[in-house]
Structure 1
């Protein structure tokens, strides 16, 4: 049996050096007795054991093994745990890793589970230290320009050295000492020093104690009180060193009465500033409404659209744009992220493709009316991004009310449906877009309909050869639309008769 005596105050280096020596000597975990120095005196009747101080003789200096980085990360936390069994656990896992390289991936393993449980306990203790340390100002020494503060904290584990850098970064502009039963950390503006020697509670009080109590009593909300949750986040063992904790029993006991009093004090009338805002709004000159029966009137009306729930999350209504007498009307699916922000259709990546291809095909956007089947951006938030979502049938039907009025005002000779959503909005058809692609169909009122893909579809094609092929087909569709726009009513009528007779 080999006994290893360590200081056991959160220093990974001393354990690592001993563990390396033991491992190089192929010492099994069952033959090692790990102890802390303050526990190593033992019992008078305990058999004598061999104490390891430094490397084992004959073990060699160069290590011949490796461990995963995740083990070292876990070990740095677990070594701070107060349980004396942590040394044996770490060495047992280290020994097993030499034969079981993926051991740490087996979270159901008893040793691995215990390792993670200890790491979590240390991490939680560090968090509580950063939350519950209360600095108190002490007298500044003569000739010392910086203010000096002292705090007392009682951690569960040996975390002083692990947590001290947080306080150095946060309170670098003042001198401070954090004293605990498991060591002390100090910062003087130039150097951070940490000692493992236990300290005694200085029992200090100062004027900030009253400030803490005032702050806590004002942020305490009796209407949202959950005692069990509060006790989880602010365990009772920390209360004796928190000046505000003395208020907690009274605040809990009076919570119900406080809620009743809050309800009685609730405002029965709108605040004065609300009345002033209403008066200012009524005093503003009324803005002239756009002429009746124009696109401007329809656009202003659509700006306040609440026909479906999409308006709740969208930035604004994205209405169509273009001349009211346009002979060609382009109908897309819905605005995207950039269109939603700009308030204009086809200004994003898909719009850039549409503009470039249309120009090559001889279709001028300035003389074309461009709009969407759905006027609000539908998306799913993912972090800081807004991911496009396809409108459902109900949302398309709600927005068809606007599209029908646009068609009635503009009276285009040709309507180009770009994408399946636009096709469904214009025809109520559920046919596959691929079956109608490139075809010239008939709408009511003598208008023709050309079906093609949406430019966004072209951007999603990964295969380069197929993307070139689909881009050429889209260019051909736009060229056909441009040619149709140049035809006379007689030519169009003749072509429609030919389509019907065929």
Structure 2
């Protein structure tokens, strides 16, 4: 009985504002943790708090909570959730992290971590829907033009979502109304107020007719998938979006419009095959490297992706020309060859071997960055033999204009471009004659510097030393050919 009485006496009830009371929860969590109150002795409640925008009922604490970044970033992503247990679950996570489970967030299979992660994802989806489906309508008030929108989120996300609209529509005066509260931006200050109603938003404005016409014009009937549309844009949001009024008619006419598109297809200009495109370029017969580069700049990439063509760099008449595979991510963004990690390694090795990079010519067999997207990352994808062949005309003309004494093939793709054959680097490494180029240039084959970056640490030192040996032989051979 004594134990039960003690536990009852130590039970704590924390009052928070209804909705998403991030500040109140943080203050309460700091105080509870500082006092050593375990999660099972705490009840979080928002039912008795005065209003969404009243004073915080939980006393604060100056005691800092030192938590892993994964936890601190998770908390604001869970607090807006509709689940009434969210605060208790978050405090349980904090308690466990502070009491010996510092790396708890790395255990994705832990039931608590799994549940909180799912809640955070639900908030992310709700925010995405609000950002994508909220529509403002224009109204006039004594101060002039103002915009009003109505939205019904699934969770308490108004305060988390409003800053996005401040950034996007900073020059407008607007109000976002929800059943839970409102966000008001006057051009300088973002403020929150009491709930709103759908009746406060006008049924339409002059802009909506133009927006609906644009939507109807860009609607692609051949890609209609009503099930996917409803999954991505649930019907509960349709009544607030002017373009959705056109959807039923567009769906009814999709089959006929698709049939009309198919009938018109033969009259559309067909995309040229790469071989035909290359032949068309060759017909232009550039008279200088500058003219060749101008053709490359305005030509559509012959590999998927790429921001721009990355041209060769270095002086005409350079003794040594280095040919790599293709530009990487950094090269594509900056428009210069060999400026990424592999290029930096090559520059360091050239300096060690006594080769002046500024006096050398650097280029690639393929002039555009071929990649696949993984999330936000652009991952290098090796060009095929056919793609290398499509770019060979450019490389051949480029070398004719530069007229180096020695051409260095960095890696297997460069060898394929220069010889027309797939030759193993280990068998051909060293001086080499490029028969395909009528032996106009002395050749040398070595590894690509990106190969060194991919090696395990224990093998890198030996491989780098061998690469330096190659570069020193290249420097000596270049000096002999230039003499």
Cα contact 2:148–2:176 (8 A) shared by 1:
yes
1:244 and 1:107 map into 2 onto residues whose CA distance is 41
Rounded Cα–Cα distance in structure 2 between residues aligned with 1:54 and 1:16: 10
Q: Deviations over 1:200-239 (max 9, x none)?
A: 2225223344344333333322211011221122111112
Provide Cα deviations, 1:117-161, integer angstroms capped at 9, x if missing partner.
1111112212211222222222321xx2x4112221111111111
- 2:298 is aligned to none
Aligned partner of 2:30 in structure 1 is 20
User: Secondary structure at the residue paired with 2:199?
Assistant: coil
Which residue does the alignment assign to 1:153? 151
Give the superposition deviation at 1:109: 1.1
Distance in 2 separating the partners of 1:24 and 1:371: 62
Matches of 1:98 and 1:451, distance apart in 2: 63
SS at match of 1:74: helix
The two structures, once aligned, show a CA RMSD in angstroms of 5.7
Q: Is the 8 A contact 2:429 2:446 kept in 1?
A: no
What is the CA distance between 1:244 and its match in structure 2?
3.0
CA contact (8 A) 1:417 1:423 kept: no
Match of 2:236 in 1: 237
Greater C-alpha radius of gyration: 1
How far 1:12 moved relative to its partner? 0.8
Q: Given the alignment, which residue of 191, 194, 199 partners 2:196?
A: 199
Q: Deviations over 1:162-194 (max 9, x none)?
A: 111222222222222111111111112232111
Change (3 A) 1:458 1:480: farther
Could you say which residue in structure 1 is the equivalent of 2:114? 113
Count of residue pairs brought into register by the alignment: 411
CA displacement, residues 287-306 of structure 1 (integer Å, 9 cap, x when unaligned):
9999xxxx98xxx99x99xx
CA distance in 1, matches of 2:435, 2:148: 82
- Please state whether the residue corresponding to 1:147 is helix, strand or coil: strand
Q: Is the CA contact 2:431–2:445 (under 8 Å) kept in the aligned structure 1?
A: no
Query: Residue 478 of structure 1 aligns with which residue?
Result: 478
Cross-structure match for 2:44:
34
What's 1:486 paired with? none
Provide closer, same or farther for how the CA distance between residues 191 and 466 of structure 1 changes in structure 2, counting only shifts above 3 A.
Answer: same
How high is the TM-score relative to the length of structure 1? 0.62
Residues 83-162 of structure 1 aligned to structure 2 (within 5 Å): 83-99=83-99, 100-141=101-142, 144=143, 146-162=144-160
| Residue aligning to 1:180 | 178
Distance 1:132 1:395, change over 3 A: closer
- Contact 1:138–1:150 at 8 Å: present in 2 too? yes
Instruction: Please state how far the C-alpha of 1:437 moved relative to its aligned partner.
Output: 4.5
8 Å CA contact 1:153–1:178 kept in 2: the answer is yes
Closer, same or farther: CA 317–311 of 1 in aligned 2, 3 Å: farther
State how 1:319-330 maps to structure 2 within 5 Å: none
Shift of 1:86: 0.8
Question: Structure 2 vs 1, CA of residues 451 and 388 (structure 1 numbering), >3 Å: closer, same or farther?
Answer: farther
Shift in CA distance, 38/227, structure 1 to aligned 2, threshold 3 Å: farther
Task: State TM-score, norm by structure 2.
Answer: 0.64
1:391-424 Cα deviation digits (max 9, x unpaired): 869968x979x98xx99xxxxxxx9674586889
Structure 2: 5+ residue stretches without partners: 1-10, 51-55, 270-281, 296-300, 338-342, 454-459
Counterpart of 2:77? 77
Query: 2:218 aligned with 1:215, yes or no?
Result: no
